[in-house]
Structure 1
Amino acid sequence: MLIGVISDTHLYDRANELPKSVFDEFSNVDLIIHCGDITDKEILDLLKDLANVVAVRGNMDYLNLPRKEILEVNDIKMGVIHGDVVYPRGDRLKLRLLGKEMGVDVLISGHTHTPFIDDCKDILLLNPGSPTVPRCPLKSIMKLSIEDKLEAKLIPIE
């Protein structure tokens, strides 16, 4: 299974559009996960044209979405949160503890606008960054390939 992961799109409050390369990269995925700060329902509708979408509510969202989701794909339990409940922002130890509390193998979050892949041995922490308003030099999304194991790949966006 191939999963596209995106977060912090902030349309239309901080960005005018989702880059075309996001749609190109997600054209072959089976599922899209959005980790919040969507800010406009139209984005979910556009993504749903590509694949099924699982989305959580971010601190800038007023959409009727859950604060967290737990999915199971090929016996891998994945938790999805926005990440605004973690302070300091993006603290990996606190994310790890939250993931363990949720009982997941993988915790996917957003909020920081900074991408990372952090294998803590007992849990994999993922953040796709932001394709529109990054806090590091690159705009980014992520793809997850799940067969016998999960492989995460960060994808820079032009």
Structure 2
Amino acid sequence: MLIGVISDTHIPTRSSKIPEKVFEVFKNVDMILHAGDIESLDVIKSLEEIAPVTAVHGNCDPNLELNEREVIEVENVRIGLAHGVVYPKGDTQQLYYIAKELDVDILITGHTHQAMIEKIDDVLLLNPGSPTQPRLTDPTVMLLKINGADVEAEIVKIGKPTCKALDFTQFNH
């Protein structure tokens, strides 16, 4: 099974739309997991044109009637999905404890806007980063391949960070 993993899209508050490259990367996936900070159900509807979507509530989401956490079983693998609000941000030890609490083999989180693949003991911690609002890195999503108990995770860069151009003439007096 091929799974597209995405997080921290922040649409329409911080970005206007999902980059087209995401749709290209996800074109053959069997399902999509969104780790929160969606901000609009239109994001889920757009992604559902590709494949079924499971999403969780992020700390910047209004009430979208999503759960804080989900557990999905794919073949022989239990996957936990949560936004991952822990402090300090991205603390892998706390994320590991969330995985143990959910009794999962893989925990997918977002929140940091930075992609990560890290294994701690028997748990694989994944973060797809952000395709729209990366922090100190390129925009990313993730592909997760599951074949029985075999798991492969790949961080996919979808472009370079973009920022609004400044008109420096406004600073001249």
Superposition TM-score, scaled by structure 2 size = 0.89
In the aligned structure 1, how far is the partner of 2:101 from the partner of 2:56?
18
Match runs of 1:4-153 below 5 Å = 4-62=4-62, 63-84=64-85, 86-148=86-148, 149-153=150-154
Higher-Rg structure is 2
Unaligned stretches of 5+ in structure 1?
Answer: none
| Equivalent position of 1:155 in the other structure | 156
On the 8 A contact 2:2/2:30 being kept in 1, the answer is: yes
Give 2:151's aligned amino acid: L
Unaligned stretches of 5+ in structure 2?
Answer: 160-173
| Equivalent position of 2:170 in the other structure | none
Secondary structure of the residue aligned to 1:28 is coil
Secondary structure of the residue aligned to 1:131 is coil
Give 2:112's aligned amino acid: T
Shift of the alpha carbon at 1:89? Answer: 1.1
Q: Percent identity?
A: 47
Shift of the alpha carbon at 1:98? Answer: 1.2
Shift of the alpha carbon at 1:97? Answer: 1.2
In the aligned structure 2, how far is the partner of 1:23 from the partner of 1:131?
11
Superposition TM-score, scaled by structure 1 size = 0.97
On the 8 A contact 2:6/2:142 being kept in 1, the answer is: yes
RMSD: 0.7
Shift of the alpha carbon at 1:136? Answer: 2.3
Shift of the alpha carbon at 1:20? Answer: 0.4
On the 8 A contact 2:32/2:52 being kept in 1, the answer is: yes
In the aligned structure 2, how far is the partner of 1:41 from the partner of 1:114?
23
In the aligned structure 2, how far is the partner of 1:125 from the partner of 1:46?
26
In the aligned structure 2, how far is the partner of 1:66 from the partner of 1:12?
21
In the aligned structure 2, how far is the partner of 1:75 from the partner of 1:137?
33
Structure 1 outlier segments of 4+, above 2 Å: none
